[in-house]
């Protein structure tokens, strides 16, 4: 289970719409209070001021009541610890639990997921997007690209790189490398894929012999006796050796049934079998693998792999269009058209996605529910209050405005009835 770190997130800006509506609602309350005071003072001068006073008085009461109700959701009004106020901060854990239960009961139950997925034709949608990714998807692509770049840049590169390297090394450590190499070599031999390798080795040996003729001649000259050197036979012997080796390599290059090539193939076949079944060979390969992993040069190479992969991911995230240009773009276009036209393929892909979604809900639904609940529990009261208020505060300010207006109209109606009676 992923541990939830209890820490306060950075300060979040209050949405401009919430600030604007809060000012409007408060201004209306202040205006109603001022109107009430003025109307009360001049009411004896004319009966019409009585209606104004009644409207302003009731509007002021309604606005104050709704201000108290809205404020009590998020904090104690005026800082006073009045019972049943600061409802959200006091019940944040229960809110997280209820939100998690809501997700589970409405989205993460396998049969609910299956029913909802039947309405989604994901294959056709994917086909349309692949054929024309800029039609309606450019904003999504740009948003995802920016998010990917920010995530890659924000993560602790030393820690993340260490995690990736550690995971790679650990996977190689537990990997039985020798049998895999043996099976790969046996498969290559069975399909004659080793022949080009043997041809390359023979050609390489010919080039090495040609480049090192002076060394061969010097070796023969140094090991020949004084009589051979005096008679010049050492030079003749060196020529014979070089010519013989050169002819042997030429014959091996031209004749794939050459006896030496046959011996080489027998050695490769035995090596493939030993890699899979010989305990001593398997142990030697395992020891070589471990020594290689501990080698600083190998660790530097793995570090370079991670840096190259990270750089490639950043390039792809910054310019996703370049990633799918050229031949790949043509292939994606063709795939998109196929997904749109092939009904059988659509049914197969949609069925696979539906089964995958149902399986994910069944296997990980409880984990997702716990993650949501524990994440909300990990927030401090101020954080959850601020986030909820920023999300719904604008609508709650409309409640204050409507309460002021409705209260004023009710007060006006009551005063009118009172005057009439």
Return the pLDDT at 3.
Answer: 38
Give me the chain's average pLDDT, please.
78
Average pLDDT over residues 19-37: 92
Q: Work out the number of other CB atoms within 10 angstroms of the CB of residue 340.
A: 18
Return the pLDDT at 4.
Answer: 38
Return the pLDDT at 80.
Answer: 86
Average pLDDT over residues 49-53: 91
With CA atoms as reference, report the closest residue to 376 among 169, 72, 19, 89. 89
pLDDT digits (tens, 9 = 90+) for 137-191: 555 556 556 656 666 665 556 666 666 667 777 777 777 888 888 888 888 888 8
Q: Work out the number of other CB atoms within 10 angstroms of the CB of residue 165.
A: 15
Return the pLDDT at 37.
Answer: 93
State the Cα–Cα distance between residues 336 and 330, nearest whole angstrom. 10
Return the pLDDT at 265.
Answer: 82
Task: Give the C-alpha distances (Å, rounded to integers) separating 80 from 45, 60, 76, 85.
Answer: 41, 21, 6, 9
Return the pLDDT at 26.
Answer: 92
Map out the domains of the chain as residue ranges: 14-133+333-421, 175-277
- Is pLDDT above 60 for 368? yes
pLDDT band at 54 (very low <50, low <70, confident <90, very high): very high
The residue with greater pLDDT, 11 or 110, is 110
- Is pLDDT above 60 for 103? yes
Return the pLDDT at 30.
Answer: 93
């Amino acid at each position: 289970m992923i541990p939830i770190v209890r820490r306060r997130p950075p300060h979040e800006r209050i949405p401009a719409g919430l600030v604007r509506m809060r000012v409007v609602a408060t201004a209306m309350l202040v205006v109603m209070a001022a109107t009430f005071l003025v109307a009360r003072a001049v009411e004896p001068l004319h009966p019409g001021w009585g209606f104004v006073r009644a409207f302003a008085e009731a509007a002021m009461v309604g606005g104050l009541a709704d201000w108290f109700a809205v404020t009590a959701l998020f904090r104690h009004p005026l800082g006073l610890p009045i019972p049943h106020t600061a409802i959200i901060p006091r019940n944040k854990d229960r809110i997280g639990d209820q939100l998690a239960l809501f997700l589970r009961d409405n989205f993460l139950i396998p049969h609910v997921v299956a029913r909802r997925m039947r309405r989604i034709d994901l294959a056709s949608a994917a086909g349309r997007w692949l054929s024309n990714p800029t039609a309606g998807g450019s904003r999504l692509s740009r948003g995802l690209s920016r998010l990917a770049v920010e995530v890659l840049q924000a993560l602790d590169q030393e820690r993340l790189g260490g995690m990736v390297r550690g995971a790679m090394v650990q996977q190689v450590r537990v990997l039985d490398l020798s049998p895999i190499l043996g099976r790969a070599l046996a498969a290559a031999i069975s399909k004659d894929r080793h022949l080009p390798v043997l041809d390359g080795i023979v050609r390489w040996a010919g080039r090495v012999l040609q480049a090192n003729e002076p060394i061969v001649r010097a070796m023969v000259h140094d090991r020949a006796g004084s009589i051979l050197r005096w008679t010049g036979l050492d030079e003749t012997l060196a020529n014979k050796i070089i010519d013989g080796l050169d002819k042997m390599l030429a014959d091996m290059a031209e004749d794939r049934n050459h006896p030496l090539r046959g011996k080489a193939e027998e050695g490769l076949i035995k090596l493939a079998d030993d890699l899979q079944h010989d305990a001593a060979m398997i142990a030697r390969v395992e020891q070589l693998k471990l020594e290689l992993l501990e080698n600083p040069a190998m660790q530097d190479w793995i570090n370079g792999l991670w840096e190259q992969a990270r750089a490639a991911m950043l390039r792809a995230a910054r310019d996703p269009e370049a990633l799918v240009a050229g031949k790949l773009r043509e292939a994606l276009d063709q795939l998109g058209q196929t997904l749109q036209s092939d009904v059988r393929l659509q049914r197969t892909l949609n069925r696979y996605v539906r089964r995958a979604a149902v399986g994910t809900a069944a296997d990980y639904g409880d984990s997702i529910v716990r993650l949501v609940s524990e994440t909300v529990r990990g927030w401090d009261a101020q954080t959850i209050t601020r986030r909820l208020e920023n999300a719904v505060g604008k609508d709650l300010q409309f409640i204050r405005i409507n309460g002021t207006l409705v209260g004023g109209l009710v007060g006006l109606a009551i005063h009118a009835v009172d005057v009439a009676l």
